[in-house]
Amino acid sequence: MEHEELLTKRKGKIAFLYLNRPEKFNALNISLLNKINSALKAISKDDKIRVIILTGIGEKAFAAGADISEFSEFKSKEAMELSKKGKEKVFDFIEEFSKPVIAAINGYALGGGLELALSCDIRIASNNALMGFPETSLGTIPGYGGTYRLAEIAGKGIAKEMILTCRKISAKEALEIGLISYLTEKNELLDKATEVANQIMMNSPNAINSAIKAINYSGRDSKKNCSEIESKYFSKCFDHPEFKKGVSAFLNKRKPNF
Ligand code: COA
């Protein structure tokens, strides 16, 4: 019951997190964001969990945004706090998380819902999904990292077009612009996400963590710093036992067992 608005389920080495406010299209209120944060903190300490799959409960929505009813009376001071706290606890937290997080987008991913998906390492969507940023129609802009994460993933032109027009795009279009990696039938979404999780789990968890950290720098720092960061994480892998394991498996024509 602790994570009522967030259901957690475990299947082998995969943790499934289900956003569970279907009556509100899984709108992200503060309480749900806090629950995502505590669930992830618990997962970070659990060595048996290797990949997280984040999805929404219900037929309609992954998440239809931040909960508008919570911020309708806000002024800039509270809005600043909302944005900063949300990033710290969830959006940046996921992006920098030590284990890969896959967003399985099962319906509307709007506003904060799309920002949540963009914070994840990999996105997969079912063919009923619709994605967009309605914020400018509400008189504001995305505040949980959407402006720069969408620009990084799909390019500034697409980010401006989607944010300025509030146009919702289909999963097919999301696939075409590289916003998602796979498009599935509705009932095959979690199977596909599980298949991707299984592919990731064939590889070294230490190397995966290092790759996520290095990739997160790309485009956000000078070329020189990105290069240095990559060399740092690359070289650190060589002191990790998983490097010996991987290389010795290759040399002995076996599959490594990470
Ligand atoms: N915040 C709070 N409540 C939300 C919500 C949000 N972001 N998105 C949906 N809901 C609630 C609705 O208020 C409604 O609750 P109610 O039944 O108590 O009135 C319920 O979820 C269902 O939404 P409804 O609008 O009746 O469904 P619909 O099928 O007509 O439309 C959407 C679905 C997603 C298109 C529409 O709900 C919507 O535009 N939501 C807001 C999206 C948005 O602007 N997000 C960015 C926020 S910054």
Same domain as 167, residue 210: no
The pLDDT assigned to 220 comes to: 87
CB 52 within 8 A of CB 43: yes
Q: How far is the CA of 90 from the centre of ligand 1 (A)?
A: 21
101 Cα to the center of ligand 1, angstroms:
25
Which residue type sits at 135? Answer: E
The span from the CA of 228 to the CA of 232, in Å, is 6
pLDDT given for residue 61 in this prediction: 98
Nearest-atom index, ligand 1, CA of 133: 46
The model's pLDDT over 63-106, given as tens digits with 9 standing for 90+, comes to 999 999 999 999 999 999 999 999 999 999 999 999 999 999 99
Please check whether residues 91 and 25 belong to one and the same domain: yes
Same domain, 10 and 137: yes
Partner residues linked to 21 by β-bridges: none
CA-CA distances (angstroms) from residue 127 to 131, 166, 170, 192? 11, 20, 8, 13
User: What's the rounded Cα separation, in Å, for the pair 3 and 226?
Assistant: 38
The CB of 134 under 6 Å from ligand 1? The reply is yes
The CA 64 to ligand 1 mean position distance, Å, reads: 6
Question: DSSP letters along 82-130, please?
Answer: HHHHHIIIIIHHHHT-SS-EEEEE-SEEETHHHHHHHHSSEEEEETT-E
CA of 77 to the centre of ligand 1 (A): 25
| Residue 189 half-sphere exposure toward CB, CA atoms < 13 A | 25
Instruction: Point out the ligand 1 atom lying closest to the alpha carbon of residue 67.
Output: 1
Kindly report the CATH number assigned to the domain that includes residue 64. Answer: 3.90.226.10
Residue 1 lies in a domain: no
C-alpha atoms less than 13 angstroms from C-alpha of 12 in its C-beta half-sphere: 8
Are 50 and 201 within 8 A, CB to CB?
yes
- Same domain for 101 and 214, yes or no, is no
* Tokens read off for 145: 């990292």
Alpha helices (H) in the chain, listed in sequence order:
30-44, 68-71, 76-86, 92-95, 112-119, 135-138, 146-154, 156-165, 171-176, 189-201, 205-217, 223-237, 241-251
In contact, 165 and 96? CB cutoff 8 Å: no
Best residue among 19, 23, 24, 147 to mutate for probing ligand 1's pocket (most ligand atoms within 8 Å of CB) is 24
Only one residue has tokens 């931040």, namely 66
Are residue 93 and residue 209 in the same domain, yes or no?
A: no
Shared domain check, 54 and 165? yes
Predicted confidence at residue 74, as pLDDT, reads: 96
Give mean pLDDT, residues 135-141: 98
Closest atom of ligand 1 to 68 CA is 1
pLDDT digits over 98-117, tens only? 999 999 999 999 999 999 99
Asked if the model's pLDDT at residue 218 lies above 90, the reply is no
- For ligand 1, the distance from its centroid to the CA atom of residue 108, given in whole angstroms, is 10
Whether 184 and 57 map to the same domain: the answer is yes
What is the 8-class DSSP label of residue 140?
Answer: S
- Both 16 and 124 in a single domain? yes
Range of the domain at 231: 205-251
Take residue 82 and report the two structure tokens written for it. 């909302």
At which of 200, 221, 237 does a domain end?
200
Domain count, the chain: 2
257 domain residue, yes or no: no
**Looking at the domain assignment, is residue 231 inside a domain?**
yes
Query: Are residues 236 and 178 located together in one domain of the fold?
Result: no
217 and 184: one domain? no
Q: Is residue 151 within 8 Å of residue 122, measured between CB atoms?
A: no
Same domain, 115 and 225: no
**Sequence-ordered list of residues with C-beta below 8 angstroms from that of 248, at least 6 positions apart, any chain:** none
Percent of the chain with pLDDT over 70: 99
Q: Is 68 in the pocket of ligand 1 (CB under 6 A)?
A: yes
Q: What is the pLDDT of residues 143-180, one digit of tens each?
A: 999 999 999 999 999 999 999 999 999 999 999 999 99
Specify whether 167 is located in the same domain as 226.
no
142 in contact with ligand 1, CB cutoff 6 A: no
User: In the structure, what pLDDT confidence band is assigned to residue 1 with cuts at 50, 70 and 90?
Assistant: very low
Q: Average pLDDT over the chain, rounded to whole?
A: 96
Q: Which residue's CA is minimally distant from atom 47 of ligand 1?
A: 65
Question: Active-site positions?
Answer: 115, 135
What whole-number distance in Å separates Cα of residue 19 and Cα of residue 7? Answer: 7
